[in-house]
């Protein structure tokens, strides 16, 4: 989905719903796509502080419609780390 979670326009940035400066994590549940205008206006605030509502609840992707790009040709230097995850 390339739509802003706040206004629905074309999204070109990623926004932390709970800003990192306030303990927000880099997680599927806290990251949303956002247009540059909404991301800049929201700044270091939460949607609730702005009086905004998210158009959807952020969640990890499901199903087979998504994939991690580049995973089919892993960098050889990553092998020790990738084998630990398997």
Say if CB 10 and CB 20 are below 8 A apart.
no
Nearest residue to 47 via CA among 12, 1, 7:
7
Higher pLDDT, 72 or 82: 82
pLDDT of residue 68: 64
pLDDT of residue 70: 62
Kindly tell me the burial class for residue 52, based on how many C-beta atoms sit within 10 Å of its own C-beta (0-12, 13-18, 19 or more): middle
What are the angstrom distances between the C-alpha of 60 and each of 28, 31, 44, 81? 5, 10, 23, 22
Q: Per residue in 21-53, pLDDT tens?
A: 999 999 999 999 999 999 999 999 999 999 999
Name the 3-class secondary structure at 15: strand
């Amino acid at each position: 989905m390339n739509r802003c979670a706040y206004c629905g326009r074309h999204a070109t940035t990623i926004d932390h719903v709970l800003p990192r400066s306030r303990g927000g994590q880099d997680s599927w549940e806290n990251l949303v796509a956002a247009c540059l205008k909404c991301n800049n206006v929201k700044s270091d605030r939460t949607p609730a502080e702005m009086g905004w509502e998210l158009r959807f609840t952020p969640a990890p992707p499901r199903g087979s419609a998504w994939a991690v790009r580049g995973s089919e040709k892993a960098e050889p230097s990553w092998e020790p780390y990738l084998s630990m995850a398997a």
